[in-house]
Amino acid sequence: MANTVKPLFKWRKAMINSDLPATTKHVLLTLSCHMNEFGTSCFPSIDTLNKETSLSRQSIITHLQKSSESKWLNIKKRGLGGQQWKRNDYSISWPQGVDAVKEVDVLPNIQVTDLSEGGQSYKLKAVKEIDSSSSKYRSVNQAKKHNVKSHIPEWLPSYLWDAFKEHREKLKKPLTEHAEELTIRNLLSFKEKGFNPVTLLEEAIVKGWPTVYEPKNAIITQTKTQYVDDLGN
């Protein structure tokens, strides 16, 4: 049975479609992996974000500041000593004038382990740094976009598919129309085996893989008859 999208996922959708710089979105997406479904209170260290985003410490701090200034992120101190940003407490925020994304039904996600340094960690990961304003990318792919999206399955979020395509561009391995069809076919095959295709595609993006693979880790598997909701419902 489908579940209602939680506040964190509404915020991700709106943030991704905002006019924030691509690297700022990358940092926010990665940070949001440490939040619960309500987007509240997480406190990963800069070192953790450095490892997960492959960005420099200074770049991470700069884009966290931009996120706070643009009202997409609340930052407060946890009352501990140390470096200025080391123990900040982060939660989502909505800029004035930005409406929350309407609730939609999606397939429930699956159970994951707690990998955070405070607060739960979820499987949605950020893509590698993308220059979304690249005119070259847009000119090459604009003509294909409508036809490709027309046959994207309902269970595959279009924004995640776009992120995967941009990820492939970053790897200098752009998806051909045939490759897109094969990837979707593979995702459907894994879905029929009981795996969550959304999680598999996110896994490929965050780990820098050019395609999706059948998971070997039992943590990200599920039964064929019932999904396990990673949001704890």
What is the CATH number for 40? Answer: 1.10.10.10
Question: Do both 10 and 89 map to the same domain?
Answer: yes
Which is more confidently placed, 65 or 113? 65
Q: Assess if residue 55 is contained within a domain.
A: yes
Q: Give the percent of the chain with pLDDT over 70.
A: 64
117 belongs to a structural domain: no
Of 106-110, 190-194, 223-227, where does mean pLDDT reach its minimum? 223-227
Q: Which domain holds residue 79?
A: 3-106
Task: State how many domains the chain has.
Answer: 2
Are both 65 and 152 inside the same structural domain? no
Residue with tokens 């039904």: 105
Whether 121 is covered by a domain: the verdict is no
Task: State the pTM of this model.
Answer: 0.42
Last residue of a domain, one of 59, 85, 106: 106
Residues 28 and 101 in one domain: yes
Query: Do 38 and 79 sit in the same domain of this protein?
Result: yes
What is the model's pLDDT at position 149? 53
pLDDT band at 66 (very low <50, low <70, confident <90, very high): very high
Paired sense of beta strands 88-92 and 73-77, if any = antiparallel
Kindly tell me if the per-residue pLDDT of 72 is higher than 90: yes
62/140 same-domain check: no
33 vs 96 pLDDT, higher one: 33
pLDDT tens for 136-173 read 445 445 544 444 454 788 888 888 888 899 999 989 88
HEC secondary structure over the chain:
CCEECCHHHHHHHHHHCCCCCHHHHHHHHHHHCCCCCCCCCECCCHHHHHHHHCCCHHHHHHHHHHHHHCCCEEEEECCCCCCCCCCEEEEECCCCCCCCCCCCEECCCCCCCCCCCCCCCCCCCCCCCCCCCCHHHHHHHHHHHHHHHHCCCCCCCHHHHHHHHHHHHHCCCCCCHHHHHHHHHHHHHHHHCCCCHHHHHHHHHHCCCCCCCCCCCHHHCCCCCCCCCCCCC
Kindly state whether residues 100 and 14 are assigned to the same domain. yes
